[in-house]
Structure 1
Amino acid sequence: MTINATTYVGFRGNAREALTFYREVFGGDFQVVEWPDNDEHLIMHGHLITADGWDLMCADNPELGAEDSANQRMNIVIWGDDAETMTSQFEALSVGAEVHMPLVEQAWGAKFGGLKDKFGVDWGFNVEAPTADA
């Protein structure tokens, strides 16, 4: 079983440009999933796996208003297949938190949940089904 973490950065419409730049700097390759039904080709989920093997994830966040124009949205994403440990961690972080999405089954086949902890840090948990070799 494994558990990993990476930084997930929110952009105001220039996530693809940022990923392209980061790929130029760090090497590697990225994949993107665009928000459905948008003519601007905004990114719903972008994932850069660098040449050194570390990850950076990002998205365009169309919900950010003009008052947030100087801010980037960033959260910590935990992903892995140790459902028992990750569920316990999510529940522990939920104490005194604002849970945006409970840890529940999602369309992509994993359980996902998100919250802003009592310190104002945004967290996402993506619990995959264990792999056959685990």
Structure 2
Amino acid sequence: MTIKATTYVGFRGNAREALHFYREVFGGEFQIMDWPDNEEKLVMHGHLTTAAGWDLMCADNPEMGAEDSAAQRMNIVVWGDDVETMKSQFEALSAGGEVQMPLVEQQWGDMFGGLKDKFGVDWGFNVSTSPIE
């Protein structure tokens, strides 16, 4: 079983441009999933696996206001395939915090949930029911 953490960066409508730039800089391959039904072609999820094998993930955050803040720009994403451990970790991190999206199955087939912990740190959990290699 596998559990990893990745930095996830939020953008104001230019995540696609940023992914292309980062691929030019670091090499590798990326995948982009757009927000459903959006004319601006905003990125719901972008994932660059660099030539060196490390990951950078990002999205356009349509709700992001004019002022930047660390909470709006970055969060920690934990991903893996150890379903029971990750469910337990999600619940433990939510104690004293706020679950912003329950950990449930999503359109891409994995379970995903998000929370802000009691220290104000934003977390996302992506739980695959298929083994990650």
Does TM, scored on the shorter chain, surpass 0.5?
Answer: yes
The correspondence of residues 69-108 of structure 1 with structure 2, limited to 5 A, is 70-71=68-69, 72-108=72-108
Deviation by residue 1:55-100 (Cα, 9 ceiling, x = unmatched): 000001111122x2x3452111111110111111111101111110
SS at 2:20's partner residue? helix
State which structure, 1 or 2, has the greater radius of gyration over its C-alpha atoms: 1
Offset at 1:36?
Answer: 1.9
SS at 1:126's partner residue? strand
Give, in whole Å, the separation in 2 of the partners of 1:34 and 1:104. 20
Give, in whole Å, the separation in 2 of the partners of 1:62 and 1:49. 24
Contact 1:82 1:130 in 2 (8 A): no
Q: Which runs of 5+ in 2 are unaligned?
A: none
Give, in whole Å, the separation in 2 of the partners of 1:37 and 1:113. 21
SS at 2:31's partner residue? strand
Equivalent in the alignment of 2:59: 59
Contact 1:19 1:48 in 2 (8 A): yes
The correspondence of residues 112-127 of structure 1 with structure 2, limited to 5 A, is 112-127=112-127
- The TM-score, its normalising length taken from structure 1, stands at 0.90
Equivalent in the alignment of 1:32: 32
Q: Which runs of 5+ in 1 are unaligned?
A: none
Offset at 1:106?
Answer: 2.0
Contact 1:13 1:61 in 2 (8 A): yes
Q: Which amino acid aligns with 1:53?
A: G
Offset at 1:105?
Answer: 2.0
Aligned length: 131
- The TM-score, its normalising length taken from structure 2, stands at 0.90
